[in-house]
Amino acid sequence: MSDFTRYAVYYAPRPGGFAARVAGWLGWDPEAGRPIAFEGPEGLPRPQAELTMSPRKYGFHGTIKAPFRLADGAGQADLSGALATLAGRLAPVGMPGLELRRLGGFLALVPEGDESALMALGAEVVTGLDGLRAELTGAEIARRRPERLNPRQRELLASWGYPFVMEEFRFHLTLSDDLPEAEAADLAQRLGPWLGPDLPRPFIIEDLCLFGEDAAGRFHLMERHALTG
Q: Give domain status of residue 132, yes or no.
A: yes
Q: Give domain status of residue 109, yes or no.
A: yes
- Per-residue pLDDT tens for 154-190? 999 999 999 999 999 999 999 999 999 999 999 999 9
Q: Give domain status of residue 173, yes or no.
A: yes
pLDDT of 30 > 50? The answer is yes
Range of the domain at 149: 6-226
pLDDT of 95 > 60? The answer is yes
Percent of the chain having pLDDT more than 90? 97
Q: What is the pLDDT of residue 2?
A: 58
Mean pLDDT of 75-85: 97
Structural domains in the chain (count): 1
The model's pTM is: 0.95
Q: Give domain status of residue 11, yes or no.
A: yes
CB burial readout 137-159, b (16+ within 10 A) else e? eeeeeeebeeeebeeebbebbee
* CATH number, residue 202: 3.90.1140.10
pLDDT of 1 > 60? The answer is no
Q: Give domain status of residue 1, yes or no.
A: no
Q: Give domain status of residue 192, yes or no.
A: yes
